[in-house]
Chain A
Amino acid sequence: MATGTDDITFKFITQAADISGTGGGSSRSVSGIRATSSQVKAYIDNSLKQTNNTADSGSIPTIKFVSGGLADSDTTQIEYVEYYSQTEIFGGGSPALTDTEQSALYTVAGLYNSTLGR
């Protein structure tokens, strides 16, 4: 169970959607979507918390994705967080993930994990 405030940032390339001071001490899910070339969105527990429509530029990271921290190269990590990972999905696709699909992911992940008793 999360403690303290839940200040979440989803950042893709250089554009970020920030969620600050939302509380939500029992959150089980966070997610972020890059919906267009100029829009990112961040969610906590299936609730859209912020949309950022600022234009962006930059490149997709050329290193590997890490769970449990942040990779700053393919051999080093920083900014670790303690948690039990229960379902993790990342990707993109065309068209980009919609709010409806994000909501479905949250629902299905919840059912999957509740079926497993966790």
Chain B
Amino acid sequence: MGVIKRKRSTATMDPQVAAYFKAGNITDPTEQKAVSAFIATLKSAGIYSRLERLYLMSPTSSAAGLLDFITLTSATNNGASHGTSGWTFNGISGYIDTGFIPFNSTIMSQHDMSFGVYCNSGTAGTIGAFGGANNTSLQQLGITATASGSNTTFSYYTNTLAGSRFSTYTANNMTSLIGFHISTRTSSLRMDAYVNSRSIANTNASSSGNLVDEEIYLGAINASGTPTTYLSCRLGLAFIGRNIPASMMATFARANIDYQRALGRYVYFPLADTYFTNAGIPTSEVLERFAAEFFITELRMRNIWDKASRIYLRSPYSQAAALMCAKTGTSQTAVNSPTHSSTGLYFDGVSSCARSDVAVSALSEITTSSAFIFLYFNGAQNAGGYSLAGCEVGGSNAYRLRWTNGLV
């Protein structure tokens, strides 16, 4: 009987990944796979080389959760709680000291810096910081959130404390802190704020100071050596480094989402979660959930959500989901059997359509001075003189988009 020689696997682990697993005693295959994929994506996209500190906030142990992936140095915990979803900060006294001082960086500069966190739980209150540092010469790197009534103002700092030199963004009727927040300065005259890879604010104000000469804290601001501005939240990732260009944001955000989801700790934006529940879209529909989460978060962060009366995402999952309004949970009524497929909700141009749940005049967002209709579609056939959507009473009271072969 011949001897069957088993071929040795040629797959090799990234030495830095292997070193991280060893330093953190990380043996769980799921986490190992998630980290390997995350780092591989960051490296291939050119993001990794821009980072000076990267806290993956391992679920394995608090010791592993404090490890910086890049240098394998440990941050110092001061009252934050470790769990499988990351680090929870109590908003009163808990914080993590990364020990990293931007002023000592070998790759960052006064005009080239970034700080980012992935927050997977938290509600804004009085001003608090996801993290950062400032010193007496008024240099600062960090992100804060402040609730004002039902609104939340996020402030993104990259030099200096002066009011005109940071970007702020106020999300109306929202107090959730969930999201991948990034503050980045790409030049002496430009800084940007991003949430979930999308630009939400920017400023052209100059960066007049040096890099901050204090250790970066998480869950609070290091104000010249004293922790202040604590924030009640839970973080699943944090990083510090050179600027992150706009072209890399989508890849970075998607890679982070994949990493968090692989660890089972990805938390959907609350409004998206409500939509998934109302529409019956199960957790197994990963791609659709990712797409819808992105869409809803975008509308929410841009305050478009508040202006919309009805939002139909035309879910590919089911006709019932396709008829469901993502904002209100109310459904359109199918009239004369429109058909459903992964392409969308199909209207035949003969008799099928979908009727919304209440009269237009009953929708508080729509006034005589403000209204809009937005349609995104495919496969439209222009039969000449017909309406894509809307309603009209007696020719004078209209709210519709009409498509014709000639002028109406």
Interface residues of A (CB under 8 A from B): 1-14, 16, 18, 20, 27-37, 56, 58-74, 77-97, 101-102, 104-106, 108-113, 115-118
CB–CB B370/A72 < 8 A: no
Stretch of B70-78, B203-211, B232-240, B388-396 lying at the A interface: B388-396
CB–CB B287/A90 < 8 A: no
- Known interface pairs A68-B352, A90-B310; A83-B347 also in contact (CB < 8 Å): yes
Interface residues of B (CB under 8 A from A): 287-288, 290-292, 294-295, 298-299, 302-304, 306-314, 316, 332, 335, 338, 341-361, 363, 365-393, 396-408
Instruction: Tell which of A13, A31, A63, A111 touches B368, judged by Cβ atoms closer than 8 Å.
Output: A13
Closest residue of A by beta carbon distance from B384: A4
Residues of A within 8 A of B309 (CB): 90-92
CB–CB A61/B360 < 8 A: yes
A–B complex contacts, Cβ < 8 Å, 5 sampled? A62-B397, A67-B388, A88-B314, A116-B316, A118-B316
- A97–B179 Cα gap in the complex (Å)? 24
Instruction: Tell which of A36, A61, A66, A95 touches B389, judged by Cβ atoms closer than 8 Å.
Output: A66
Instruction: Tell which of B298, B363, B390 touches A66, judged by Cβ atoms closer than 8 Å.
Output: B390
Other than the given A89-B311, A90-B374, 15 more pairs (CB < 8 A) read A5-B406, A7-B405, A7-B406, A20-B407, A29-B374, A61-B361, A65-B391, A77-B335, A78-B387, A81-B380, A84-B378, A85-B377, A86-B343, A88-B310, A91-B371
CB–CB B360/A28 < 8 A: no
Residues of A within 8 A of B347 (CB): 67-69, 80-85
Closest residue of A by beta carbon distance from B402: A9
CB–CB A72/B388 < 8 A: no
Instruction: Tell which of B313, B372, B405, B406 touches A32, judged by Cβ atoms closer than 8 Å.
Output: B372
Q: What does DSSP make chain A's interface, helix, strand, loop or mixed?
A: mixed
CB–CB A8/B377 < 8 A: no
Closest residue of A by beta carbon distance from B348: A82
Residues of A within 8 A of B287 (CB): 115-116
CB–CB B370/A85 < 8 A: no
Tell me, rounded to whole Å, the shortest Cβ–Cβ distance linking A45 to chain B. Answer: 10
- A13–B295 Cα gap in the complex (Å)? 30
Tell me, rounded to whole Å, the shortest Cβ–Cβ distance linking B332 to chain A. Answer: 7
Closest residue of B by beta carbon distance from A105: B374
Tell me, rounded to whole Å, the shortest Cβ–Cβ distance linking B104 to chain A. Answer: 39
CB–CB A65/B356 < 8 A: yes
CB–CB A5/B310 < 8 A: no
- A117–B407 Cα gap in the complex (Å)? 34
Closest residue of A by beta carbon distance from B322: A85
Residues of A within 8 A of B390 (CB): 11, 65-66, 70-71
Tell me, rounded to whole Å, the shortest Cβ–Cβ distance linking B69 to chain A. Answer: 28
Closest residue of B by beta carbon distance from A96: B370
- A32–B365 Cα gap in the complex (Å)? 15
- Known interface pairs A70-B391, A104-B302; A65-B401 also in contact (CB < 8 Å): no
Instruction: Tell which of B298, B371, B400 touches A108, judged by Cβ atoms closer than 8 Å.
Output: B298
- Known interface pairs A9-B401, A14-B398; A66-B356 also in contact (CB < 8 Å): yes
Tell me, rounded to whole Å, the shortest Cβ–Cβ distance linking A99 to chain B. Answer: 11
CB–CB A59/B361 < 8 A: yes
Residues of A within 8 A of B400 (CB): 10-11, 70
CB–CB A64/B307 < 8 A: no
- A29–B310 Cα gap in the complex (Å)? 17
Residues of B within 8 A of A63 (CB): 359-360, 391, 393
- A89–B405 Cα gap in the complex (Å)? 24
- A102–B307 Cα gap in the complex (Å)? 11
- A34–B374 Cα gap in the complex (Å)? 12
Residues of B within 8 A of A20 (CB): 406-407
CB–CB B373/A32 < 8 A: yes
Closest residue of B by beta carbon distance from A83: B380
In the complex, which of the residues B290, B352, B359, B390 has the most CB atoms of chain A within 10 Å of its own CB atom?
A: B390
Q: 7 smallest A-B Cβ distances: which pairs? A: A93-B307, A82-B349, A68-B347, A68-B353, A70-B387, A83-B380, A96-B370
CB–CB A68/B370 < 8 A: no
Instruction: Tell which of A79, A95, A104, A116 touches B288, judged by Cβ atoms closer than 8 Å.
Output: A116
- A64–B354 Cα gap in the complex (Å)? 10
- A99–B306 Cα gap in the complex (Å)? 16
Residues of B within 8 A of A67 (CB): 312, 332, 345, 347, 353-354, 356, 388-389
- A84–B347 Cα gap in the complex (Å)? 6
Instruction: Tell which of B307, B377, B379 touches A91, judged by Cβ atoms closer than 8 Å.
Output: B307
Residues of B within 8 A of A94 (CB): 307, 367, 370
Instruction: Tell which of B290, B308, B366, B370 touches A89, judged by Cβ atoms closer than 8 Å.
Output: B308
- A94–B364 Cα gap in the complex (Å)? 10
Residues of B within 8 A of A109 (CB): 295, 374, 376
Residues of A within 8 A of B312 (CB): 67, 85, 87-89
